[in-house]
Amino acid sequence: GAVVSQHPSWVICKSGTSVKIECRSLDFQATTMFWYRQFPKQSLMLMATSNEGSKATYEQGVEKDKFLINHASLTLSTLTVTSAHPEDSSFYICSARDYWGGVGYGYTFGSGTRLTVV
């Protein structure tokens, strides 16, 4: 089945630095990937839709200059948290959409990245 790899699994960074998170589709091509953020004991909130070869589409309230998304190939999307601050600490999860044969489009998730900004 479809596999999505996300790295790193966890990262600790100093306030003011930038952190890059990678999301790869391992056995399929993903023209569209999605980035979510999850706070403790809450649900997943969609941050942006990443489209291969074009600009990402951000959800309302998400700062595009702080959360830079690049989808340069059909198997890789990256999320860069720029000038990170403690309030950016969270669990970030990526997802890729794939056509699951006759059933339609399904969504597979990476294992997530736990970001702690100190």
Partner 1 sequence: GIQVEQSPPDLILQEGANSTLRCNFSDSVNNLQWFHQNPWGQLINLFYIPSGTKQNGRLSATTVATERYSLLYISSSQTTDSGVYFCAVVSGSEKLVFGKGTKLTVNP
* Nearer Cβ to partner 1 (32/80): 32
Question: 84-110 burial by CB neighbour count: b if 16+ within 10 A, else e?
Answer: beeebbbbbbbbbbbeeeeeeeeebbb
CB count in 10 Å sphere of residue 77:
32
Size of the site for partner 1 (CB under 8 A): 23
Minimum gap (Å) between residue 36 Cβ and partner 1: 8
* Nearer Cβ to partner 1 (35/84): 35
Give the position of tokens 């702080």.
66
Minimum gap (Å) between residue 106 Cβ and partner 1: 5
Give the position of tokens 């941050």.
47
Binding positions for partner 1, rule: CB under 8 A = 32, 34, 38, 42-44, 46, 49, 91, 93, 95, 97, 100, 103-109, 111-112, 114
